[in-house]
Amino acid sequence: MREIEAAAITETVARLAVESTHFLPEDVEGAIRDARETERSPLGVQIIAEILENAEIARERMLPLCQDTGTAVVHLELGQDVHVSGGYLIDAINAGIEQGYGEGYLRKSIVEHPFGARTNTETNAPGVIHTEIVPGEELHIGFMPKGGGCENMSRYQNFLPGAGREAVIDFVCETVDLSGGNPCPPLIIGVGVGGTAEKAMTIAKHSLFRKVGERNPDQDVAALEGELLEAVNALGVGPQAVGGSTTALDVFVETYPTHIAALPVAVNIQCHSARTKHAVL
């Protein structure tokens, strides 16, 4: 049994909120830099150049990469031999969100009642917190400030089991086509196949914590990822949907065993400002 202080969790989440919103992960910036070389549309190339310049300005001037500093999505992997002391785990996370969004001059985008008054909570809490209990005595915290524009383009559908692989490809392409410029392409596309409705969307979201270029260890799934990336980039949507060959930087697919009657498919889209940050306690 290992003790982790709630206060240490709060401090860590606050730090992750500030760092993730100001510093674009290296793998993402690298992929955008590569796209600048391969993009066919001159206007697309110029947009990509502005995205790279933005990352530099954000870093140097401590300005958030994007004004939408997101819903705070927090993915916890909590070792079963950890004991959190000095407070309740979820309260500690939300306190960290409040602290980070305050100290970091980040936008508070969360409203209390989704329909009706929509009063801002003024803290950006509560976050959307997923907790997995895992072996061991560490606490892994993944922080993702998820923008509204791309999150709004999420889609879920259950297909007839016989529809198979093609149904997945059609659904992903249709989702990207319909979303156009709203989710800020070039995108990173998370796809969850299997499980139940909420499982499919959860694994789609979780896949977005991967590094660009990191393939699913299952060869068939990795092959589908490659095929999806090609299919999506053939759509011509392009950077900011002005037309071009770079609609997505990567596609991540996660699968989970499912019911004999089901083929759940969930798509969770990430904008080019693909901000994630991890810490281990």
Q: Is 130 in the site for other proteins (CB under 8 A)?
A: no
Site track 31-70 with other proteins (rule: CB under 8 A), x = hit: ---------xxxx--xx--xx-xxx-xx--xxxxxxxxx-
Smallest distance from other proteins to CB 57, Å: 4
Residue 162, helix vs strand vs coil: helix
Nearer to other proteins, 7 or 43 (CB): 43
Q: Does 105 bind other proteins (CB under 8 A)?
A: yes
Residue choice 15, 205, 206, 272 for contact with other proteins (CB under 8 A): 272
Scanning the chain, the segments in alpha helix (DSSP H) are 6-22, 26-38, 42-61, 89-103, 148-151, 164-179, 197-207, 219-233
Binds other proteins by CB under 8 A, chosen from 8, 173, 222, 281: 173
Shortest distance, position 215 Cβ to other proteins, whole Å: 23
Rg (CA), the chain: 19
Neighbours of 61 (CB within 10 A): 8
Half-sphere exposure in the Cβ direction for 204 (13 Å, CA): 29
Q: SS3 of 85, please?
A: strand
Residue that is written with structure tokens 């198979």 in the block? 164
Q: Which residues bind other proteins (CB under 8 A)?
A: 40-43, 46-47, 50-51, 53-55, 57-58, 61-69, 105-109, 118, 120, 122, 147-149, 152-153, 155, 170, 173-175, 177-182, 184, 231, 234-238, 240-245, 271-273
